[in-house]
Amino acid sequence: MSSFMNMACIGDFDPFTAAIPATRVELTVSCRNLLDRDTFSKSDPICVLYTQGIANREWREFSRTEMINNTLNPDFVRKFTLDYFFEERQNLRFDLCVEKPLIGIPGKKCGTIKVRAEELSNCRESVMLQFCGNKLDKKDFFGKSDPFLVFYRSNEDGSFTICHKTEVVKNTLDPVWQAFKIPVKALCNGDYDRSIKVEVYDWDRDGGHDFIGEFNTSYREMSRGQSQFHSYEVRHVAAGYPCNLRTCCQVTLLSCLVDMELTFLDYIKGGCNVFCWISGNPSQPTSLHYMSPYQLNAYAMALRAVGEIIQDYDSDKMFPALGFGAKLPPDGRVSHEFALNGNPQNPYCSGIEGVMEAYYQSLKSVRLYGPTHFSPVINHVARYAQSVKDGSQYFILLIISDGVITDMAQTKESIVNAATLPMSIIIVGVGPAEFNEMIELDGDEERISSQGRFAERDIVQFVPFRDYIDRRGNHILSMARLAKEVLAEIPDQFLSYMRTRCIKPGLCPPAYNPAPASYLQTQCLFA
């Protein structure tokens, strides 16, 4: 089942538009009376949000909620957060799916979808909460109860929006739920006195969870739990007496730890340096490296698109540029690490223009040589990242490739090893090839593994350049689209490393340089 939403009244929403004043809004989705598509149980719905671009009018998936098992009336916890532009028409499409999309059936009601939008505050606090229950009601005939908590924040119209669910603790009347971390803006949108409702349920396999009771609190009240336990009486409406509330049990707030949500820029301002490696038969027009006098080749467009943004994080914009995989003159010696400007003692290039010039000159003087191995390049960068794990430096490797990987097993192993280090890998696929291997390396859907060992975190972002090429031949627009997409996950990957190591911004020691002095700034490597 699909539902459409128009967020404004003029123009069209395009995720690639230039940065203009916008408001961050949060969309909460709930559904009622969905079609039952399962034979022996209820449906397991999931909601997928699509945005429509202005350039090609095509729908592109923006994000999706969690799947909720065995229900026709889901209240999705996972939100959609996006920019709202007053002066633009932003077309959104919500698809409700089970194993396949629910297509409307003529003459039959398929259910309704409710979308609530709320402007987000700039609150950057997060809070770690842990609760336990005491003497909860026994709801199961052959056991005790399988309790879980559902948190709702109040809205201006008096309604409530779901914001968190705890895990289920099986067969107990005295559960201790795991601690969970939640942004304060998700809990109360920065309004410390806004009412928060907490409902207690007994989980049932058929989705008909038994209501145990509820209590109300606020973020301000819970934050007092930093110094002492706080217990809440859980009450429910007695059967047949809707106005008669009776006490049935207690839920206690065991801990409340408040923290500030740190951003990528907080670390940059704190002195963390970002380093970038760019790993990239110019003689024939059919070659992806072909140097046309009229336009940039795909490799050059990808380099310029990403490099012009990355260079703003470098103080003097002097980039050592190295190449991998070529036969060098005069004797045809194979090298997997050579200076693009021909000067191994001083491989500096002045800005991205200098890197571009060195790239073009190297294509005239060297012969690119296969096979294509990703693992040596990844291991090369990993050696530098291994030397600096204190948060003072972060490394980014950009690989531009036509889709052929001849050392897939070794590449997976290298990525799994690199996932423990302060580094990210961006892969841009150029040309018409199938990129199944590249997609496999991207850990968005399934975390990459090697020899039974899974990567600690997702550090790979793969983007096929052809998906972002403007059909009207506007190369500037094509490069802007590519840069936006390939760099989108870098801040989150950066933050995931810092958070798991409990590294705070502003506490970074002076940058330690694991390489020779000429490598202190952003480094660019081509293969």
d(CA 343, CA 333): 16
Q: What is the pTM of this model?
A: 0.62
Peptide bond into 376 cis (omega under 30): no
Tell me whether the omega of the peptide bond preceding residue 330 falls within 30 degrees of 0, making it cis.
yes
Residue with tokens 């939403």: 5
Q: Are 31 and 68 in contact (CB under 8 A)?
A: no
Q: Could you write out the three-class secondary structure of 307-346?
A: HHHHHHHCCCCEEEEEECCEEECCCCEEECCEECCCCCCC
Whether 526 contacts 362, CB under 8 Å: yes
Tokens of 113: 């979808």
Tokens coding 341: 């400007």
For residue 371, say if its preceding peptide bond is cis, omega within 30 degrees of 0.
yes
Closest CA to 31 of 3, 62, 59: 3
Pairing of strands 245-260, 273-279: unpaired
DSSP 3-state of 455: coil
pLDDT in tens, the chain (527 residues): 555 555 432 233 343 343 445 577 889 999 888 888 776 778 888 999 998 876 667 888 888 999 898 888 899 999 998 887 765 677 888 888 764 444 555 666 777 887 877 777 778 889 999 999 999 999 888 889 999 999 999 987 788 999 999 999 999 999 999 999 999 989 998 899 999 999 999 999 888 899 999 999 999 999 886 667 889 999 876 544 343 445 568 999 999 998 887 888 788 778 777 776 666 533 334 456 556 555 677 778 888 888 887 777 666 677 767 776 678 888 888 776 777 888 888 877 888 888 888 888 888 888 877 677 788 888 988 998 999 888 888 888 888 877 678 888 999 999 999 999 999 998 888 887 778 878 888 877 788 999 999 999 999 998 888 888 877 778 788 888 888 888 888 888 999 999 899 888 875 444 444 433 222 223 344 44
